[in-house]
Structure 1
Amino acid sequence: MNTKSITGKKPHFCEICGSSFTSKKYLAIHMQTHTEEKPYSCEVCGFSFTRKYSLVIHMRIHTGEKPYSCEVCGSSFTVKQTMLTHMRTHTGEKPYSCEVCGSSFTQKQHILQHMLIHTGEKPYSCGVCGSSFTQKQHLLEHMRTHTGEKPYSCEQCGTSFTHKHNMLQHMRTHTKEKPYSCEVCGSSFTQKQHMLQHMLIHRGEKPYSCEVCGSSFTQKQHVLQHMRTHTGEKPYSCEVCCSSFTGKYNLVVHMRTHTGEKPYSCEVCGYCFMHKQTMLRHMRKHTGEKPYSCEVCSSSFTHRYTMLQHMRIHTGEKPYSCEVCGSSFTHKHTMLQHMRTHTGEKAYSCELCGSTFTNKKKLNIHVRTHTGENP
């Protein structure tokens, strides 16, 4: 008869650590943890265990046996407890709660790791640089920054990564998968963090501010890059021509001027572009889209800059002035043409007779004297 079933107690105590058990049998098994005796050995790999049941479970690694199946999704497991823990992903049950902040977890191990956040304890330390971590897995991942190990490789292009999640994110550049969608405008993203940053645009929230001029930004990286306009710092340098840039992306785009790379292609005509934004503007020639409208006369334009130039017709603004005579113009190219009346420069030449002209319009009129075309 089980003593515990009658008294509700565990009468058998370990004299070394004080643990209590319902029977002498369990106490005897426990004592092996102190004596380091492991009488049960695996015939395949030689690994040994204190309990026969532990050996039985271990053998399933070699046999591939998974006797416990999930009734919901059919996933199978070698250990019953692992299957029960898995079931919580379907039921939503989180039986382990944090007494400090109320957060709940599906596994006991997860709450123990979470509690380290409140205690500030970081029991896992790096023997190289002394950095400490709350989880052993985080320490192991950190160690790769010292060893240079990148155990996760992309099956398509061979690029390797220190972390599995980085490799999975990278795979989406091949599969084009964008699992995170904006509920407001439907834009989709490869990473959750990118979607959360995007949501700030809809909320109008700009949590990162420049301490110098007060400009605000949606992303921390943007304010750090902006600060370089004040400090003059340009940490990214081109190895070909030594040009330097405030942002890494600016350097990447600049490098295309040396490599000739044009990674963005028009799906309609196949024309290639160095910049994605230039390709999107080009697409409007095919779609006829004119997203920029004049608030005064409702004229619409394919480019924002063209709309801003048009607005000068209504405002009368002439921001470009001649340094010689003071004449002002609405467009920069018109001012440059005017300057030739002072410099005498004739930048446009006739390919037939070599005559030169100050502007393209006069050249076109002249060419008709050769072709016989009526003006």
Structure 2
Amino acid sequence: MRMHTREKTHSCEVCGYSFSRKTHLVIHIRTHTGEKPYSCEVCGYSCSTKSNLVTHMSTHTGEKPYSCEVCGYSCSTKSNLVTHMSTHTGEKPYSCEVCGHSFSRKLYLVTHIRTHTGEKPYSCEVCGYSCSTKSNLVTHMSTHTGEKPYSCEVCGHSFSRKLYLVTHIRTHTGEKPYSCEVCGYSCSTKSNLVTHMSTHTGEKPYSCEVCGYSFSRKLHLVTHIRTHTGEKPYSCEVCGYSFSQKQNLVRHMRTHTGEKPYSCEVCGYAFPQKQNLTTHMRTHTGEKPHFCEVCGYSCSTKSGLVSHMRTHTGKKEL
């Protein structure tokens, strides 16, 4: 009878969550105790369920027994295949009751709902940092351990997560698998496509409580808030200079290392920043995208236009 009615008679004494089968309760309790009885004999990785261990073993064997009949894509788990199939069918059966956003997997919906509830069930035992997903906690832990096991074979750059490496490799291959259905714009990451789409919809759901300024991405809001708080969490280990954004620290570090990763394909000149290369390329192409609205004068840099405008305003450079 329980199998038909799905009666949930087995309850967790810690959080009250209920299950229809005792085995499910046993597995759930491990999320509280941290018990991981299943270990990989190859690398020592441990997990709470046998199915997770089977999935993990495929990272060593390379086995991918589940294949897509449409495009031939193969993967190590049935759930990943189900998720992949939604890219062909477009099916997203799990919908958020708060905002209506729909997802192809229930797990994605559960994670999404936390953006509304503010729930952050995963906590760092070192510093107390909490987050909404386990993967984010794993990434955070690398800030304490410094571990970056995924390395790029092209340039040697290493990363704490495989996903970051996959995204990085596209800077070498030029691959841009995410395309805008409105204008055809393509990019290398899904998050960049989401940001781009806001240029069409104008949607900016994240607002600053201090000044009311709104943003299309939560990350942009977090960065903006630092202009009010003065927080600069990214510090240079060489000179102690601190920044509000990680990318600014990366750029700054090049002043110490002398690294110039952006090279001109025409003359070989190298630059520490991509914007510098973009500006330099105009010396070869002759492009002058900055125009004076008064006299029509054009130049290759914004700073050049600012200097030119002083000939009209009479304002002297300080």
Q: TM-score, normalised by structure 2?
A: 0.56
**8 Å contact from structure 1 (residues 322, 328) kept in 2:** no
Give the Cα separation in 2 of the matches to 1:155 and 1:209.
Answer: 40
Structure with the bigger RCO (C-alpha within 8 Å, sep 6+) is: 2
Question: Contact 2:159/2:165 (CA < 8 Å) preserved in 1?
Answer: yes
Cα distance change on mapping 1:340 and 1:149 into 2, 3 Å:
closer
Q: Which moved more, 1:273-282 or 1:284-293?
A: 284-293
Counterpart for residue 231 of structure 2 = 261
Q: CA deviation at 1:254?
A: 1.0
Q: For the structure 1 residues 185 and 293, does the alpha-carbon distance in structure 2 shift closer, same or farther, using more than 3 Å as the test?
A: closer
**Which among 129, 142, 151 is matched to residue 181 of structure 1?**
151
Matches within 5 A, 1:202-213: 202-213=172-183
Work out whether 1:315 is the aligned partner of 2:286: yes
Q: Alignment partner for residue 245 of structure 2, among 272, 275, 283?
A: 275
TM-fit CA distance, 1:156: 1.3
Distance 1:180 1:227 in 2: 31
Residue 249 of structure 1 is aligned with which of 195, 219, 223?
A: 219
Kindly state the Cα deviation for residue 176 of structure 1 after the two structures are TM-superposed. Answer: 2.4
1:63-86 per-position Cα deviation (integer Å, ceiling 9, x unaligned): xxxxxxx9x78x9xxxxxx9xx99
Question: 1:239 aligns to what SS in structure 2?
Answer: coil
Query: Given the alignment, which residue of 198, 210, 213 partners 2:168?
Result: 198
- CA deviation map 1:256-307 (0-9, x unaligned): 1101111222233212222333333333433444555666776655545455
For 1:172 and 1:235, the matched residues in 2 are separated by 30
Contact 1:180 1:190 in 2 (8 A): yes
User: Unpaired segments of 5 or more residues in structure 2?
Assistant: 1-38, 45-49, 84-96
Of the three residues 359, 362, 365, the one matched with 2:317 is 359
Deviations 1:69-118 (A, max 9, x none): x9x78x9xxxxxx9xx99x96996x9xx88999x999xxxx99x89999x
Indicate the structure (1 or 2) with the bigger Cα radius of gyration.
1
Q: Are 1:219 and 2:192 an aligned pair? A: no
Q: Which of 297, 307, 314 lines up with 1:334 in the alignment?
A: 307
In the TM superposition, what are the counterparts of 1:139-158 in structure 2 within 5 Å?
152-158=122-128
Work out the number of aligned pairs and report it: 245
Please give the alpha-carbon distance, in whole angstroms, between the structure 2 residues aligned to 1:337 and 1:99. 65
The one-letter amino acid paired with 1:359 is E
CA-CA distance at 1:208 after TM superposition: 1.2
Residue by residue over 1:28-54, the C-alpha shift from the partner in whole angstroms, topping out at 9 and shown as x without a partner, is xxxxxxxxxxxxxxxxxxxxxxxxxxx
Q: Give the CA RMSD over aligned residues.
A: 5.1
Q: Deviations over 1:99-158 (max 9, x none)?
A: 999x999xxxx99x89999xxxxxxxxxx99x9x999xx7xx88x969987664321122
Counterpart contact for 1:294–1:311, Cα < 8 Å: no
Q: TM-score, normalised by structure 1?
A: 0.49
